Amino acid sequence: MAATLGVSTMSSYRHVKDRDDLVVAMVDTITGRTPLPRDPGVTWPELIRTMALGDWQAFVRHPWLISVWSTPRRRVDAASLDQLELVLERLERAGIDRSAGYTVIFGVAGLTLGMAAMAIDDPGEELKSGVDLAEWRRRTGMDLDEQFAADHGRAARFMAELHEHTGYSNFTAALEGFITGIATRYGAPLTH
C-alpha cells in the first residue's frame, strides 16, 4: 500500500506509534463511513439494520477487516463506540434492559461477522490458492466419497451448494429473523 501512495513503508509510523495503532485508525475510518441516524424517531430495529448492513458492506469492501474483528482483542475505535452507545440507548428506550441489550449486540455482531466469514472471500487468498471460493466449496461438496454422500445427503448438498445460499440476501433474511426474534423474546415494539 505504501508503494501505491508513493511513500516509504515506515513513513506512516511518524503519525501512529505502532501497527495496532494504525489498524485502529483504519478501522475507525471504515466504521465512521456508516454513521447511524441520530433522529430520536429512528427505531431500534432501524439502527440495528443500519449498523449490521454497514458492517457487512465494510467486510465486502475490506475483507481483511473480518480477521481483525474475529480476534478476541478486537481493535476498538471511536466510531464503533459511538454506534454502540446509540444502539444500547435505543434498546433501553424500547424496554430491553442492559443485560438483554448486551445479548442483542453480541448476537447481531456474531451473526454479521459469522455470515461474512462464510460468504466473503479475501481476494488475496483467492490469488494465493488460484481457486475462487465458490469453486472451492463446489469441489469440497463433490469430493466427498459416495458412502458419505449416501449417508449424509443433506450435508453433502449443503457443502456443494453453500455458495449459492450465502451472501447478502441470505444475510438480510437472517438479520430480519434475528430482529423479529428479539422483539418477540423481549416484548420490544418494532415500530418505536
Smallest CA-to-CA distance from 179 within 99, 133, 83, 112 is with 112
Percent of the chain with pLDDT over 70: 61
Average pLDDT over residues 75-100: 86
Residues 96 and 182: beta-carbon distance below 8 Å: yes
pLDDT digits (tens, 9 = 90+) for 5-35: 455 665 555 655 666 656 666 666 666 666 7
Residue-range domains of the chain with CATH: 2-120+172-186 (1.10.357.10), 121-166 (no CATH)
Q: What is the pTM of this model?
A: 0.73
pLDDT at residue 121 is higher than 90: no
Closest residue by Cα to residue 20 from 71, 62, 81, 57: 71
